[in-house]
Amino acid sequence: MQLSPIEFKLLWKLSLTITVGTIALFWIIHYLILQTEQRVSFIDKQEQKQLIDYARHAEMLFLQGEDENWQIGSHISSSRKTLVLH
């Protein structure tokens, strides 16, 4: 079956629309999941920010290739157990 040029253009437009729509849908779902996770968290806002800062710092070290010497230790601070990167 041979597609006419008009049918071929319509097929490509339809395919592109479905592809962009699917990507947008998954991006929106991902965004909503992250927002919901932050809002229902039992961790204080300040501690959430500190965890995000730790993650950024760890990612920076990883990208610089300094991740091989990480040691995960723990210490007790104000009766809360926290993980510390040495």
Whether residue 52 has pLDDT greater than 80 = yes
Q: How far apart are CA 50 and CA 56, in angstroms?
A: 10
Whether residue 81 has pLDDT greater than 60 = no
Instruction: State the pLDDT at residue 75.
Output: 46
Nearest CA among 55, 70, 11 for reference residue 47:
55
Greater confidence, 7 or 66?
Answer: 7
Pairing of strands 72-77, 80-85: antiparallel
Whether residue 76 has pLDDT greater than 60 = no
Q: Please tell me the pTM assigned to this model.
A: 0.50
Instruction: State the pLDDT at residue 57.
Output: 87
Greater confidence, 13 or 59?
Answer: 13
Residue-averaged pLDDT of the chain: 80
List beta partners, residue 83: 74
